[in-house]
């Protein structure tokens, strides 16, 4: 047998030189990742690969890849982010590099703002609101009058500060190694095309002023605004390598008023109002209740809401992973760890309703002892879930059959479409438990 050579190939040596040069340049000069052929790719200008989910359809998703130097920004504060985003009607390609964690609840000078600051001058107080709309005296009707108007005014003040509207043709990317993210804020991608959001941690997105709705369910609910990222009428969006979490304030610490949790969290990543052609890839969703909503109602938008969800980690999620309506949704190679975490106990993972056409294949579901496979899914009797190759604790399992055997509102098992944009699809889910730990979420891109 010939002796093994320890000489580096010419390609390997060239790759090493490129890597050293990039490290010497530093994060501010542009971070590069290596593709399968060892060619350097600028993280900030990187575009969605061909056939990588629904967002690669048609014109594809390129974000701000064509941005010139005048429209390339590095931001570290809320005020800088607002300036870099500019007008939502300006479609000039732009790249926004977020360095470090931006606290959305700050003013233009960087001073921390609290719920009391937003309430100041509006006449709102929680004590007065609770007294005005106590069901025992006010009854089960929608709140109206002085305190409801004051609550809405305070909420509007917070909204103006923490909601960031993203223009078309924009890439928002966290600078590796800086704990990049947005705390307490909400990215709104509304009625625009071609947006990329990568390598960011979205945490503590909280509504200071939830609204009491006594008609929501049998006992009423406190409802809040602000998803960490919300897509409304958006097209060609790639959400990649982000982390979504309620931390540091979890639902288990919320107070109870009128017998219901005072819920300050809404969605993590919601895709509604006719949004279409979206790829959600290699994110971590953790410590959250109502996590991802696809379709705002049962009559949202027929022919749209086409979403690919792959190689994500769902851990400590109560529900909506996702809740899907109407659209064609491909869910593959995801890791669902349904073990309770920080008080978040799983109700279900995937919900298909309002005639949604879901293909869920080659996912790995990790169930704690005593948990039932039938509880992994949910539906209203009109939605479909097709697909195979799903593993439960390492064993091939027909999760739809398990659900249907225990439910009167059965899921349909056929769909009216066949996924074709499936780059990266792994035909075995067995390695997802270990493989996604280091490759999904913010910080995985170096």
Active site residue ranges: 320
Strand order in the sheet with 293-294: 163-165, 186-190, 229-232, 269-272, 293-294, 323-325, 350-353, 377-379
Cα distance between residue 342 and residue 247, in whole Å: 10
Under a CB-based contact definition with an 8 Å cutoff, are residues 361 and 389 in contact?
A: yes
Sequence-ordered strand ranges (E) for 16-141: 32-34, 40-42, 72-75, 94-98, 101-103
Instruction: Tell which residue, 140, 175, 167, 168, has the closest CA to residue 259.
Output: 140
Instruction: Tell which residue, 354, 345, 295, 355, has the closest CA to residue 322.
Output: 295
Under a CB-based contact definition with an 8 Å cutoff, are residues 375 and 346 in contact?
A: yes
Within 8 A by CB and 6+ apart from 74, the residues are: 28, 97, 99, 175
Site of tokens 């009216």: 416
Alpha-carbon distances of 30 from 24, 121, 178, 204, rounded to whole Å: 11, 45, 13, 29
Cα distance between residue 315 and residue 288, in whole Å: 9
Cα distance between residue 373 and residue 316, in whole Å: 17
Alpha-carbon distances of 197 from 88, 173, 174, 261, 271, rounded to whole Å: 16, 6, 9, 31, 14
Instruction: Tell which residue, 172, 162, 227, 231, has the closest CA to residue 200.
Output: 172
Q: Which H/E stretch holds residue 82? A: helix 78-85
- CB neighbour class for 248 (10 Å; exposed up to 12, middle 13-18, buried from 19): exposed
Sequence-ordered strand ranges (E) for 151-234: 163-165, 170-174, 181-183, 186-190, 193-198, 201-203, 211-213, 221-223, 229-232
């Amino acid at each position: 047998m010939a002796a093994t050579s320890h000489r580096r190939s010419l390609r390997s040596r060239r790759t090493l030189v490129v890597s050293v040069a990039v490290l010497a340049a530093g994060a501010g000069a542009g971070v590069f990742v290596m593709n399968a052929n060892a060619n350097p790719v600028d993280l900030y200008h990187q575009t969605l690969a061909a056939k990588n989910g629904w967002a690669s359809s048609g014109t594809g998703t390129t974000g701000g890849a064509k941005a010139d130097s005048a429209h390339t920004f590095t931001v570290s504060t809320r005020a800088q982010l607002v300036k870099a985003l500019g007008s939502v009607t300006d479609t000039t390609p732009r790249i926004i590099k977020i360095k470090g964690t931006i606290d959305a609840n700050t003013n233009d000078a960087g001073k921390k703002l609290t719920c009391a600051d937003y309430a100041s001058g509006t006449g709102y107080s929680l004590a007065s609101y609770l007294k005005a709309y106590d069901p025992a005296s006010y009854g089960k009707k929608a709140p109206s009058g002085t305190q409801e108007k004051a609550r809405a005014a305070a909420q509007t003040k917070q909204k103006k500060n923490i909601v960031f509207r993203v223009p078309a043709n924009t890439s928002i990317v966290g600078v590796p190694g800086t704990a990049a993210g947005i705390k307490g804020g909400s990215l709104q991608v509304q009625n625009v095309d071609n947006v990329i959001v990568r390598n960011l941690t979205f945490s503590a997105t909280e509504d200071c002023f939830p609204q009491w709705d006594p008609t929501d369910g049998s006992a009423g609910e406190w409802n809040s605004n602000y998803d960490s990222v919300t897509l409304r009428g958006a097209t060609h969006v790639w959400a990649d390598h982000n982390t979504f979490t309620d931390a540091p304030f979890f639902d288990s610490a919320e107070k109870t008023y009128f017998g219901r949790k005072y819920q300050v969290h809404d969605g993590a990543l919601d895709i509604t109002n006719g949004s279409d052609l979206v790829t959600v890839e290699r994110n971590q969703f953790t410590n959250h209740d109502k996590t991802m909503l696809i379709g705002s109602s049962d009559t949202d938008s027929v022919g749209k809401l086409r979403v690919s969800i792959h190689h994500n980690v769902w851990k400590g999620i109560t529900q909506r992973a996702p809740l899907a309506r109407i659209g064609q949704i491909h869910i593959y190679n995801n890791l669902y760890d349904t073990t309770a975490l920080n008080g978040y106990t799983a109700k279900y993972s995937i919900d298909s309703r309002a005639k949604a056409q879901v293909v869920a294949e080659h996912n790995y579901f990790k169930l704690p002892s005593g948990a039932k496979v039938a509880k992994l899914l949910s539906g209203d009797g009109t939605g479909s879930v097709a697909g195979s190759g799903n593993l439960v604790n390492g064993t091939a399992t027909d999760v739809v059959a398990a659900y249907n055997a225990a439910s009167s509102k059965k899921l349909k098992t056929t769909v009216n479409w066949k996924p074709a944009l499936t780059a990266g699809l792994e035909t075995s889910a067995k390695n997802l438990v270990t493989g996604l730990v280091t490759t999904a979420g913010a910080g995985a891109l170096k």
